[in-house]
């Protein structure tokens, strides 16, 4: 084996996908309720995406950002229209998008507030990436072990605790970085009241509010971006995952007033925003808008959540079921890893969110029949895991 052993992998290898269904090497089908960790929002082998990418492959793959790329302007315009923000920077991943946001906040604070050593407040249980800056911003100690010394400039406080935010705020505070729904941290949607208080606190104290939409953005919660459920307008948001539906892409969006902070030479990327990535992103945004998918996600999300609550109501193992749109977590009183393995044998791909939360991220194009099938399989695995028989589902 020539790979680093930094992943613990399941003993299934997928070779084909269609919509919300995957096939392994033996031809067995699986419902994909992980979406590659919230990536394939439009499902596998989407015809419009496939066609657009093939067309672009025959024209131009890459030019550097030293030259205008018209597709960047088109995608930036769409993202700004849907978000209400005024400027976009394209990169290759969610971690890079968060790095860009951190750099933007620090540079803004030094120029606008004359801060010498800017600080960013983040929250316990959060996840913002694996680079040194983003893992330091992440509110989980397990991702930081062994990687010190970590960069300074981050303060982590308890989630949903506005008093802790106020106590941590000081003249060096440049920004607050928030996930509206903690993904890796257990699928916890923030409360409306907390988000409102936080936004007001930022505005009152001239602090940038950065919303990490890497997992929640591009329709996952039933709005273009999760912050739109909360009636606020952040200064910066970060995107990745669903924007490329599997093609590597990241983006940072910011208010118009922040555009001058990233002057020529301040930040850059070699691959970010190349014609291949922009073609995919444009097609993703167009497909979601033209097919009214946001409405569908809201309806399917409500149906899925209610069905799970109804079917699992008698299970002593279930502590809570929560979520927003098609981003749902089932908190259990026992470790979730064995259940995920059992579900995989049964023909459904799911994810953990910590040690005892089953995370469900089906493609936005999932059907009601597939949702029902997933509820049935999850009920069997959670309620009577020892009595399960291995089946092959038809998706």
Confidence check: pLDDT of 151 > 60:
yes
Spatial separation of the C-alpha atoms in residues 196 and 193, rounded to whole Å: 5
pLDDT at 394: 36
pLDDT at 204: 98
Mean pLDDT score of the chain, rounded to an integer?
A: 96
Contacts for 63 with CB less than 8 Å, ≥ 6 apart: 69, 274, 275
pLDDT at 24: 97
How confident is the model over 113-124, as pLDDT tens digits? 999 999 999 999
pLDDT at 384: 64
How confident is the model over 35-48, as pLDDT tens digits? 999 999 999 999 99
Average confidence (pLDDT) over 106-113: 97
Spatial separation of the C-alpha atoms in residues 44 and 53, rounded to whole Å: 14
pLDDT at 1: 86
pLDDT at 82: 98
Report pTM. Answer: 0.95
Average confidence (pLDDT) over 250-265: 97
**Distance between the two ends of the chain, CA-based, in angstroms?**
33
Domains defined for the chain, CATH in brackets = 14-33+292-318+328-334+348-387 (3.90.1150.10), 48-290 (3.40.640.10)
DSSP string, 337-382: HHHHHHHHHHTEE-EESSSSEEEE---TT--HHHHHHHHHHHHHHH
Confidence check: pLDDT of 10 > 70:
yes
Average confidence (pLDDT) over 44-69: 97
pLDDT at 232: 98
Confidence check: pLDDT of 387 > 90:
no
């Amino acid at each position: 084996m020539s790979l680093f052993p930094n992943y613990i992998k399941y003993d299934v290898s997928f070779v084909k996908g269609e919509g919300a269904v995957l096939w392994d090497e033996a031809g067995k089908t699986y419902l994909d309720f992980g979406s590659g960790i919230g990536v394939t929002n439009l499902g596998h082998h989407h015809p419009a995406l496939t066609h657009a990418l093939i067309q672009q492959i025959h024209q131009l793959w890459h030019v550097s950002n030293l030259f205008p790329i018209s597709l960047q302007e088109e995608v930036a315009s769409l993202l700004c229209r849907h978000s209400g923000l005024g400027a976009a920077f394209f990169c290759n991943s969610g971690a890079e998008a968060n790095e860009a946001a951190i750099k933007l906040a620090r540079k803004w604070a030094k120029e606008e507030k004359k801060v010498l050593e800017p600080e960013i407040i983040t929250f316990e249980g959060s996840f913002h990436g694996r680079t040194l800056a983003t893992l330091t911003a992440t509110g989980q100690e397990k991702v930081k072990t062994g990687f010190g010394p970590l960069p300074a400039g981050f303060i982590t406080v308890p989630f949903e605790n506005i008093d802790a935010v106020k106590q941590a705020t000081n003249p060096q505070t440049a920004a607050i970085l928030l996930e509206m729904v903690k993904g890796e941290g257990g699928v916890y949607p923030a409360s409306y009241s907390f988000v409102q208080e936080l936004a007001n606190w930022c505005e009152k104290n001239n602090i940038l509010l950065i919303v990490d939409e890497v997992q929640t953005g591009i329709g996952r919660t039933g709005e273009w971006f999760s912050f739109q459920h909360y009636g606020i307008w952040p200064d910066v948001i970060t995107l990745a995952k669903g924007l490329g539906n599997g093609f590597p892409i990241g983006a940072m969006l910011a208010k118009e007033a922040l555009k001058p902070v990233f002057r020529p030479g301040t930040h850059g990327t070699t691959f970010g925003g190349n014609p291949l990535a922009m073609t995919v992103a444009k097609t993703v945004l167009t497909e979601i808008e033209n097919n009214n998918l946001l409405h569908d996600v809201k309806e399917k999300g409500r149906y899925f959540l209610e069905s799970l609550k109804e079917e699992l109501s008698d299970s002593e193992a279930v502590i809570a079921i929560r979520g927003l749109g098609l981003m749902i977590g089932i908190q259990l009183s026992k470790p979730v890893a064995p259940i995920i393995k059992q579900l995989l044998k049964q023909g459904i791909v799911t994810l953990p969110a910590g040690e005892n939360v089953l995370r469900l991220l089906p493609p936005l194009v999932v059907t009601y029949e597939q949702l029902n099938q997933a509820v049935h399989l999850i009920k069997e695995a959670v309620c009577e895991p020892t009595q399960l028989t291995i089946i092959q589902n038809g998706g």
